[in-house]
Structure 1
Amino acid sequence: MQSNRRNIKKASKSDLPALEEIFRLEFSKPPYNEKWGSKLAAQKIGKYFRTCTIMVCREKKEIAGFIIFHTDYWFAGKICFIDELVVREAFRGKGAGSALLSQVEAEARKRKMKSTYLLALHGCPAQEFYEKHGYNENNWVLMRKQLNPTASI
């Protein structure tokens, strides 16, 4: 997708340092308040680069945000799972996130995927954003078990 100022393309290896920094910065803010260290963020984004598709949205050559997704399988067929959608605060509300989401949905349709899934923090602006784009809650619940009593996640 391209407009006068917006360009969405598959991420290249040279994008990784910027994506890691954007990931760390944006997830350190409310409502997430996650404290990602540089090394761990690099490992996470690097793993995604090796195993998923990352699309980057640039506006006037500046990275506005990115989306990470992969193909998965369910009993009814192939599905698209969106792992991350990160838009820099300065670019929110200006169409970058919508453009990235539309790009992935178009790619999923082209690949004959049945549905698109993602996780969103309950009650946060991201949930409202996804609902505005036709996503809805389902009956699945994310569950966890704390294995280390001193761990914060």
Structure 2
Amino acid sequence: MNLNLRARIMKTSDLKKCSELMLKVFNGEPWFDKWESVNQVQKYLKEFVDNPVFIGFVIEENNKILGACFGHTRSWYEGEEYYIDEYFIDSDLQCSGIGSRLMNYIKEYLISKNIYCIALLTEKDFPAEQFYKKHGFKVRNNTIFMYNNF
């Protein structure tokens, strides 16, 4: 693992680089999303950034962003929780430990802010599911994701 890796809180100036990386990651295998442009992704991610309770993280090497996490806090009766909206690592670097380094940094940061929980949605039977399970996430059997296309 390269020693020049650094995880940190995201800055608004990171948005374009994160958008370029997300386009690369999610338009590729195994997701095969159909993002049309960096501008479309940037508009999507900026909606998270504009949330007053947004907290974002990046991991970089020599000022090149290799991964990012877009999320926000939510108040709950048990205390503040952090909800991950988007989490991605450069597809060329997945399974290299970079995603784990970023996740560990996020957990340490959240603990320091008295945030007790991380929650997220992910695709079942995709590599991300195993990544999150490796980091202690559990599937809640009494919760379902529902949607209505019209």
TM-score, normalised by the number of residues in structure 1: 0.86
Runs of 4+ in 1 over 3 A off after TM superposition: none
Residue identity matched to 2:32: N
- Rounded Cα–Cα distance in structure 2 between residues aligned with 1:114 and 1:54: 17
Counterpart mapping for 1:42-81 below 5 A: 42-51=42-51, 52-81=54-83
Question: Residue 131 of structure 1: CA displacement?
Answer: 0.6
SS in 1 for 2:25: helix
Question: Residue 17 of structure 1: CA displacement?
Answer: 1.3
Aligned to 1:129: 131
Question: Residue 35 of structure 1: CA displacement?
Answer: 0.7
Aligned to 2:149: 146
Percent identity among equivalent residues? 24
SS in 1 for 2:109: helix
Residue identity matched to 2:12: K
Question: Residue 134 of structure 1: CA displacement?
Answer: 0.8
Residue identity matched to 2:81: I
Aligned to 1:35: 34
- Rounded Cα–Cα distance in structure 2 between residues aligned with 1:54 and 1:80: 11
- Rounded Cα–Cα distance in structure 2 between residues aligned with 1:109 and 1:69: 15
SS in 2 for 1:90: coil
Aligned to 1:26: 25
Question: Residue 129 of structure 1: CA displacement?
Answer: 0.6
SS in 2 for 1:56: strand
Aligned to 1:11: 10
Question: Gaps (5+ residues) in structure 1?
Answer: 148-153
Deviates further, 121-130 or 106-115: 106-115
Residue identity matched to 1:136: K
SS in 2 for 1:89: coil
Question: Gaps (5+ residues) in structure 2?
Answer: none
Supply the RMSD in Å over aligned alpha carbons: 1.6
Question: Residue 30 of structure 1: CA displacement?
Answer: 2.5
Higher relative contact order (CA 8 A, sep 6+): 2
Question: Residue 112 of structure 1: CA displacement?
Answer: 1.5
Question: Residue 49 of structure 1: CA displacement?
Answer: 2.0
SS in 1 for 2:122: coil
SS in 2 for 1:130: helix
- 1:10-39 Cα offsets, whole Å, 9 max, x none, are 222332111111111111123221111223
Residue identity matched to 2:148: K
